[in-house]
Amino acid sequence: MKLSHFNFELPEELLAEYPSENRDESRLMVLNRKDQTIEHKMFKDIIDYFEEDDVMILNDTKVFPARLYGNKEKTGARIEVFLLRELNEEQRLWDVLVDPARKIRIGNKLYFGEGESLVAEVIDNTTSRGRTLRFLYDGSYRDFRVKLTELGETPLPKYIKREVEPEDEERYQTIFAKNEGAVAAPTAGLHFSRHLLKRLEIKGVKFADVTLHVGLGTFNPVEVEDLSKHKMDSEEIIIKKPTTEIINKAIKEKRRICAVGTTAMRSVESAVSSSGTLNEFDGWSNKFIFPPYDFSIANCMITNFHTPKSTLLMMASAFAGHEFIKKAYDEAVKEKYKFYSYGDAMLII
């Protein structure tokens, strides 16, 4: 398939600036692949589609406040620094993006916080916007991480034009987040409330945790018409033995196994055994899923509504079928569903 197959007209007003008032009261579109039907529900109605011993695969990564604002030495120019990943704990080295990048060269120092409480030096250029920073901090590593958290803000996606607000710290994080390392939320999981999780648990639905630390590469634009030539950034994935046991039992018993989000789906598809079961995994994956693709683990998927030409839309299309997704997205635009990170949800069964 070609990049142009994933283009569509998305009115700007359908990009969600805020989440729904209550997590589980966002809208839910249900696609039934067998019957080729579309239903319109509330997210909390999702419980009606699951039975005892069905499994939901949750990405338990936790978003850290990755966006910092500092000032360049001498000129005082305001610089945005987006922390991508830690390269070396002892040396306080980080892979970052800077904006505006043209002003930031090797050897420059950046100052953060009141009284310049944190200083970083640029030690390398990695890409046009990418830099390697060494943070100059004498305290313990724990104190350094606390300082980064204090100075950083919730890394809302750039399409959200408003300022970050206090509620974003809680709402741009799933309620099951526990392993810090993501710079963007696994957004399908944002719709789950504690009450809904408890109701699913009482019904007998099993939960299996995976960890995929979402990087900005997920949102990189695809710039080649031939999708086979697109390269995804690698992201860290951890799948432990208890998760493989829950999922492999469900595969054997032919249960409904639901990947909550594209990140959960990419995690399990990166760790498939030759016999079609799930292996333990601790490493990095740059797996890019686009049509046609045979899925091995999950037979059900929850995902948000994605933007045109995005790799996330391509995965949803591979799972639901390209023509069916096109029909569903036409319906979503017509019915004014909200798109992207704080938007509404889709259940594909």
Domain range enclosing 298: 3-63+169-348
Q: Please list the ranges in the chain whose pLDDT falls under 70.
A: 116
Q: Does the residue 163 lie in any domain? A: no
Bridge partner list, 125: 131
Q: Which amino acid is at 25?
A: E
Q: Looking at the structure, do residues 198 and 123 belong to the same domain, yes or no?
A: no
Q: Looking at the structure, do residues 128 and 249 belong to the same domain, yes or no?
A: no
Q: With beta carbons less than 8 A apart as the criterion, state whether 259 and 305 touch.
A: no
How many C-beta atoms surround the C-beta of residue 131 within 10 A? Answer: 24
Q: Looking at the structure, do residues 79 and 45 belong to the same domain, yes or no?
A: no
Residue 103: what pLDDT? 82
Residue 116: what pLDDT? 66
Q: Looking at the structure, do residues 281 and 182 belong to the same domain, yes or no?
A: yes
Whole-Å CA distances, 238 to 122, 212, 264, 315:
31, 7, 11, 21
CA–CA distance, 315 with 303 (Å, rounded to integer) = 10
CA–CA distance, 315 with 266 (Å, rounded to integer) = 9
Tokens, residue 142 = 């724990």
H-run or E-run covering 195: helix 194-203
Tokens, residue 48 = 């009606």
Q: Looking at the structure, do residues 188 and 314 belong to the same domain, yes or no?
A: yes
Q: Looking at the structure, do residues 50 and 187 belong to the same domain, yes or no?
A: yes
Bridge partner list, 39: 30
Q: Does the residue 31 lie in any domain? A: yes
Q: With beta carbons less than 8 A apart as the criterion, state whether 321 and 344 touch.
A: no
Q: Which residue has the tokens 């922390």?
A: 83
Q: Looking at the structure, do residues 226 and 195 belong to the same domain, yes or no?
A: yes
CA–CA distance, 230 with 222 (Å, rounded to integer) = 7
- 1: exposed, middle or buried (C-beta count within 10 Å: 0-12, 13-18, 19+)? middle
Q: Does the residue 241 lie in any domain? A: yes
Q: What's this model's pTM, rounded to 2 decimal places?
A: 0.93
**CATH (domain of 88):** 2.40.10.240
Q: Looking at the structure, do residues 238 and 216 belong to the same domain, yes or no?
A: yes
Q: Looking at the structure, do residues 7 and 43 belong to the same domain, yes or no?
A: yes
Q: Looking at the structure, do residues 195 and 272 belong to the same domain, yes or no?
A: yes
Sequence-distant contacts of 123-130: CB under 8 A, at least 24 apart: 123/93, 126/95, 128/101, 129/97, 129/98, 129/99, 129/101, 130/84, 130/95, 130/96, 130/97, 130/98
How many C-beta atoms surround the C-beta of residue 88 within 10 A? Answer: 10
Q: Does the residue 161 lie in any domain? A: no
**CATH (domain of 254):** 3.40.1780.10
Last residue in a domain, options 103, 127, 153: 153
Q: Looking at the structure, do residues 178 and 89 belong to the same domain, yes or no?
A: no
- 13 alpha-carbon distance from chain centroid: 22
Last residue in a domain, options 153, 187, 202: 153
- 63 alpha-carbon distance from chain centroid: 9
Q: Does the residue 190 lie in any domain? A: yes
Q: Does the residue 317 lie in any domain? A: yes
Q: Does the residue 160 lie in any domain? A: no
Q: Looking at the structure, do residues 40 and 101 belong to the same domain, yes or no?
A: no
How many C-beta atoms surround the C-beta of residue 313 within 10 A? Answer: 22
Q: Does the residue 248 lie in any domain? A: yes
Residue 221 CB contacts under 8 Å (≥ 6 apart), including other chains: 309
Number of domains in the chain: 2
CA–CA distance, 73 with 59 (Å, rounded to integer) = 40
Residue 106 CB contacts under 8 Å (≥ 6 apart), including other chains: 122, 123, 124, 125
CA–CA distance, 125 with 145 (Å, rounded to integer) = 23
Residue 74: what pLDDT? 82
3-state SS, residue 144: helix
Strands (E), the chain: 27-32, 37-42, 55-59, 61-63, 67-72, 78-88, 93-99, 109-112, 118-125, 130-136, 179-182, 206-212, 235-239, 257-260, 281-285, 300-304, 345-348
Q: With beta carbons less than 8 A apart as the criterion, state whether 57 and 256 touch.
A: no
CA–CA distance, 135 with 109 (Å, rounded to integer) = 10
Last residue in a domain, options 125, 153, 181: 153
Q: Which residue has the tokens 């045979």?
A: 294
